[in-house]
Amino acid sequence: MKHSDFDVVVVGGGHAGCDAAHAAARVGAKTALITLKMSGIGVMSCNPAIGGLGKGHLVREIDALDGVMGRVADKAGIQFRLLNRRKGPAVQGPRAQADRAIYKAEMLKEITDCPNLSILVGEVTDFVIESGRVSGLVLADGSKISACAVVLTTGTFLRGLIHIGDKSFPGGRMGDSAANLLGERMESFGLPLGRLKTGTPPRLDGRTIDWDILESQPGDDAPVFFSFLTKSTSTPQVSCGITHTNEKTHEIIRANLARSAMYGGHIDGVGPRYCPSIEDKVVRFSEKDSHQVFLEPEGLNDHTIYPNGISTSLPADVQEEYVRSIKALEEVKILQPGYAIEYDFVDPRSLDNRLAVNDVPGLYLAGQINGTTGYEEAAAQGLVAGVNAAKDALGQDPVTFTRSDSYIGVMIDDLTTRGVSEPYRMFTSRAEFRLSLRADNADQRLTGLGIECGLVGPNRASIFRAKMDRLEKGRAMLTDCVVTPKTLNKNGVKISEDGKQRSLYQVLSFPDVAIQDLVKIEEDLALLDGETQSQLKNDALYATYVERQQKDTEALKRDELREIPSNFDYGVLDGLSNELKLKLKVVRPSNLAQAGRIEGMTPAALALILSRLNRSL
């Protein structure tokens, strides 16, 4: 290949861009991150929070591969909560409320401190194409940058249009201009483009909220972090407030629906069903007379409050009226009205599993541009596109992920094979292997791969190897010690006298048994540190399920060509969501494989259909 200014140029300094550029640079590519303004690096366009169910899993996986999002979120975390704490580890999701300013500052530090990585400021307006391959970029001032591969992570900026009530104006997000020229250029590639929309709530002045009358939600006493390397919080921790909309709020919204950009017919794009605006909630869930609103501080030295749950595209005067009808917000001052934004996205079915555009060699896409929503989904795609653009430029083998090794693999497969009809976000239900794809074992699943392909640096690699050694030793102690129920009962571990011999690892798989309970039988277990003990417990807890799951999935693969009769009644399947019932009735798939390709289809839903088919044999 001819000499270029850079091996990889990443366009965009958002969540996809930062993890893409960092990943490309980590594997040794000379990389540039080019973005509209320096102050835009690491900006959280919407809610100041990272993680949650499914999303927290993605951040853990990014961290396992030495990506940046997890450790930055830990540094910026002002409230940590492990969601679904009372359920099993497979569906627990770490989440943190972040200080916006710290998040941005820490992200900028990660990017500037990263060897092989330069930051350039400018607007990309065009591509340089040579022999059918993208070989560089053109900036608004006419200058050119050459590169072996380009990663585009322009988020909501491609032909972005902001809506507040019946007013609309071009913008990439509030305060930023849209990337219109680049949007037009993308169209010229003949790629399938679509329009999506998303929205954000008004921002409130926390000094004008009556906090005393509100329910308060503190973080967890023992915070669970995103990064496997973080051991403690970096900032003081805060609580959030909880309030609710009421009948009066809903009346105001209903009376003004025609003035909402969404309901007034000003928006064509499809919005995120799982993150509906308050107008959507009032219309779609008309039977509910109240919705919860979390009042989330945006930072330690910032009075701005993010009212999670009331995103809107109503005019500013209506926003003020309905917000002030909510308990504790009667006197509130709105600092910035909520708004909706419509933008272009590229049908991700035009990408391969490296996130490379099939028909445009040298071009990779990651983040919201691929029809996803959320910082975590964006960062995870950034990592995949960044590492593969680098491998492409360096002439090395690609790095790909599968549905059975990671949520990253699930997402890439969903996007590139099924496409999207609405903004895609991650859920644990999207993964058929979710008992093995846990947040707690993301490093066991991925760090080895990261070391092999050069993504993981020496510091994490040595910490990981030491951890694996401890786990191996602990697992060996447990599997080597085989006991009878009699021995267990004699040592205080209550179990039925079924005469079966079991290894202590098998005994540990019983939900009520902890490692401490087994110390009387195998004294050396007491020498294991707390982290190793709790990881062994999680691994043992799921060992039999994981084995069974593997068998079910293999069976499902065999059954993929099972025919579904055209008169099959999806209505009788109790466990099937109404959304899926509707889609199945419309598509009427002729076999299970075709049903599996319907957007939003889950392995659990396929298993339900299969079991019904088996019953009617």
Residues at the contact surface with ligand FAD, assessed by CB under 6 A: 11-17, 34-36, 40, 45-46, 123-124, 153-157, 172-173, 179, 182, 198-200, 275, 341, 367-368, 373-375, 378
Question: Least distance in Å: CB of 556 to ligand FAD?
Answer: 30
Q: Which residues in 443-554 belong to E strands, given as ranges?
A: 482-483, 502-503
Given the complex with ligand FAD, which of 11 and 351 has the nearer CB atom?
11
For residue 88, say whether it is annotated as part of any ligand binding site: no
For residue 566, say whether it is annotated as part of any ligand binding site: no
Question: Least distance in Å: CB of 334 to ligand FAD?
Answer: 16
| Cα–Cα–Cα angle for 279, 335, 318, rounded to 5 degrees | 35
Given the complex with ligand FAD, which of 368 and 532 has the nearer CB atom?
368
For residue 13, say whether it is annotated as part of any ligand binding site: yes
Given the complex with ligand FAD, which of 373 and 447 has the nearer CB atom?
373
Given the complex with ligand FAD, which of 182 and 525 has the nearer CB atom?
182
Question: Least distance in Å: CB of 376 to ligand FAD?
Answer: 8
Given the complex with ligand FAD, which of 256 and 373 has the nearer CB atom?
373
| Cα–Cα–Cα angle for 264, 269, 272, rounded to 5 degrees | 100
**Distances from the Cα of 410 to the Cαs of 238, 358, 380, 402, 563, in angstroms?**
34, 19, 11, 7, 25
Given the complex with ligand FAD, which of 27 and 46 has the nearer CB atom?
46
Q: How far apart are CA 379 and CA 220, in angstroms?
A: 25
Helix axes 442-453, 55-64, angle to 10 degrees: 40
For residue 274, say whether it is annotated as part of any ligand binding site: yes
For residue 285, say whether it is annotated as part of any ligand binding site: yes
Q: Which of 478, 550, 551, 469 is nearest to 509 (CA)?
A: 478
Q: How far apart are CA 400 and CA 387, in angstroms?
A: 10
If one counts every other C-beta atom within 10 angstroms of the C-beta of residue 571, the result is 11
Question: Least distance in Å: CB of 414 to ligand FAD?
Answer: 16
Question: Least distance in Å: CB of 378 to ligand FAD?
Answer: 3
Given the complex with ligand FAD, which of 50 and 525 has the nearer CB atom?
50
CB 460 within 8 A of CB 66: yes
CB 546 within 8 A of CB 436: yes
Question: Least distance in Å: CB of 369 to ligand FAD?
Answer: 6
For residue 14, say whether it is annotated as part of any ligand binding site: yes
Q: Identify the three-state secondary structure at position 159.
A: coil
For residue 18, say whether it is annotated as part of any ligand binding site: no
Given the complex with ligand FAD, which of 421 and 491 has the nearer CB atom?
421
Residue 166 has φ and ψ, to the nearest 5°, of -90, 5
For residue 272, say whether it is annotated as part of any ligand binding site: yes
Q: How far apart are CA 511 and CA 541, in angstroms?
A: 7
- Residue 102, CB half-sphere, CA atoms under 13 Å: how many? 22
CB 64 within 8 A of CB 401: no
For residue 422, say whether it is annotated as part of any ligand binding site: no
Q: What is the DSSP secondary structure assignment for residue 415, as one 8-state letter?
A: I
Question: Least distance in Å: CB of 85 to ligand FAD?
Answer: 22
Question: Least distance in Å: CB of 370 to ligand FAD?
Answer: 8
Q: How far apart are CA 534 and CA 523, in angstroms?
A: 17
For the annotated binding site for FAD, the residues are 12-17
For the annotated binding site, the residues are 12-17, 271-285
For the annotated binding site for NAD(+), the residues are 271-285
